[in-house]
Amino acid sequence: MARVAVVTGGTAGIGLATAHEFAARGWSVAVIARDPGRLAAVERALAAYGQPVLAIGADVADSQAVDGAAEQVERELGPIRAWVNNAMSTVVSPADRITPDEYRRVTETTYLSQVYGTLAALRYMKRRDRGAIIQVSSGLAIRAAPLQAPYCAAKFAVSGFTDALRCELLHDRVNVSLSVIYLPAVNTPQFNWARNRTGHRQFAPDPVFDPRLCAEAILYAVEHPRREVWVGRSSMMMAAAQALAPALADRKAASMWSAQLSDETIPAMAGNLYEPVPGSVGIDGRFSDRTKASRTEFATSRTRDLLVAGLAGLALVGLAGTVHAARSARRLPQRT
């Protein structure tokens, strides 16, 4: 029996690339999304890989719908081995021009959807003592940027929730892995359909990466559990800047206001915040001419830990050498 993976927001962009990656590696895949037309198209495309596929129409901001989807997957495909929380939404606008309802909706779709998906998966994984849950996050969960306050806040919340839950699983000795994938700017259709009231079309600042690179990082974290994965050099640089010089990172992020907007003027866009944008959109966005070709540019927390251990080892060796030299100097005979 094929292993079973669930991908939320799996009909476009990174979610669609991830669903294809799972299916290409022999997994049975369940995709959860809202648009019935894209769900049907994805179901047909994934079936070509030869494993069972399930397309489920649900709003991931609805906890009961997510629970029902998990139950359907278990019933029709089998035990869930991997659950990828990928669905999200955003509002591109200055923070004080975003309504309370919009803040609430972004929080529901981007943060609470990951809570609901995680809890739904855990109900089955915990009793079997196996499984992998992947939280698709962003470099903006480490270093926030202007014009996307609700999204940044929701992604920060995902990290806090995941860290707390990871501690509980360790306490209970539950063998379910939790991984957070921090993404850079990625060439996806999201830039075409986000709610936007800036008067300018949203732009993906360089460097822009391939959604398939993100999919490979997600599959890697499923098959080789890691606490965290940083995709693309920019997400790693954001993490380093925030850790080492947060005030400088604030000033650098302030310059990203204009970098996120093109010169093209547009009317206000309702986007996909409350309803899906209809039509076929695929994996890639409109920045293919600037997309980095690299398909292996990601680093994991194990790489970081090994680097830190190595640096600590070098520091200890240096300290030991200094202490030895000082002791030797004290033992030298004094000249008179």
What confidence tens digit (pLDDT) does each residue in 222-240 have?
Answer: 999 999 999 998 888 888 8
Query: Are 113 and 60 a contacting pair, CB within 8 Å?
Result: yes
Query: Are 132 and 177 a contacting pair, CB within 8 Å?
Result: yes
% of the chain at pLDDT higher than 90: 79
Sheet with 177-182: strands ordered across: 53-57, 28-33, 4-8, 80-85, 132-136, 177-182, 228-231, 298-300
> Could you tell me the CATH number of the domain that includes residue 137?
3.40.50.720
Residues sharing a CB contact under 8 Å with residue 73, sequence separation 6 or more, in sequence order = 4, 6, 30, 54, 56, 80
Query: Are 252 and 244 a contacting pair, CB within 8 Å?
Result: no
Mean pLDDT confidence for 117-146: 97
Q: Does the pLDDT of residue 142 top 70, yes or no?
A: yes
Q: Report the alpha-carbon distance of residue 255 to residue 62 in Å, rounded.
A: 36
Say which residue, 13 or 316, is predicted with more confidence: 13
pLDDT band at residue 294 under the 50/70/90 scheme: confident
Question: Three-class SS of residue 311?
Answer: helix
Q: Does the pLDDT of residue 325 top 60, yes or no?
A: no
pLDDT tens, position by position, 177-203:
999 999 999 999 999 999 999 999 999
Query: Are 59 and 43 a contacting pair, CB within 8 Å?
Result: no
The phi and psi torsions of 203 (rounded to 5 degrees) equal: -130, 145
- Among residues 49, 116, 124, 151, the one annotated as catalytic is 151
Query: Are 6 and 83 a contacting pair, CB within 8 Å?
Result: yes
Give how far Cα 48 sits from Cα of 51, 75, 117, 208, Å.
8, 22, 27, 30
Total of domains in the chain: 1
pLDDT band at residue 173 under the 50/70/90 scheme: very high
pLDDT band at residue 69 under the 50/70/90 scheme: very high
Give how far Cα 120 sits from Cα of 51, 55, 82, 127, 154, Å.
23, 17, 12, 12, 19
* DSSP letter string, 73-112: HHHHT-SEEEEEE-----EES-GGGS-HHHHHHHIIIIII
Q: Does the pLDDT of residue 330 top 90, yes or no?
A: no
Residue 35 lies in a domain: yes
| pTM, to two decimals | 0.89
Q: What angle do CA 20, 22, 24 make, to 5 degrees?
A: 65
Of the ranges 11-25, 283-297, 319-333, the best mean pLDDT one: 11-25
pLDDT band at residue 322 under the 50/70/90 scheme: low
Query: Are 39 and 33 a contacting pair, CB within 8 Å?
Result: yes
Mean pLDDT confidence for 277-288: 92
pLDDT tens, position by position, 102-129:
999 999 999 999 999 999 999 999 999 9
Which residues face 300 on adjacent strands?
Answer: 229
Residue 128 lies in a domain: yes
Residue 211 lies in a domain: yes
Q: Does the pLDDT of residue 146 top 70, yes or no?
A: yes
Q: Report the alpha-carbon distance of residue 325 to residue 207 in Å, rounded.
A: 48
Which residues face 179 on adjacent strands?
Answer: 134
Say which residue, 150 or 302, is predicted with more confidence: 150
Mean pLDDT confidence for 153-173: 98
Q: Does the pLDDT of residue 157 top 60, yes or no?
A: yes
Q: Does the pLDDT of residue 161 top 80, yes or no?
A: yes
Q: Report the alpha-carbon distance of residue 111 to residue 172 in Å, rounded.
A: 24
Q: What angle do CA 202, 237, 180 make, to 5 degrees?
A: 80
Mean pLDDT confidence for 205-229: 95
Residue 333 lies in a domain: no
- Do you know the residue count of the chain? 336
Residue 334 lies in a domain: no
Residue 310 lies in a domain: no
Q: Does the pLDDT of residue 75 top 60, yes or no?
A: yes
Give how far Cα 90 sits from Cα of 31, 110, 141, 263, 273, Å.
21, 8, 13, 20, 7
Mean pLDDT confidence for 156-166: 98
Q: What 8-state DSSP symbol labels residue 137?
A: -
**Which residues constitute the domain of residue 106?**
4-296
Q: Does the pLDDT of residue 206 top 60, yes or no?
A: yes
pLDDT score at 308: 40
% of the chain at pLDDT higher than 70: 89
Q: What is the mean pLDDT of the chain?
A: 91
Residue 312 lies in a domain: no
pLDDT score at 301: 60
151 is catalytic: yes
pLDDT band at residue 328 under the 50/70/90 scheme: low
Q: Does the pLDDT of residue 327 top 80, yes or no?
A: no
Residue 110 lies in a domain: yes
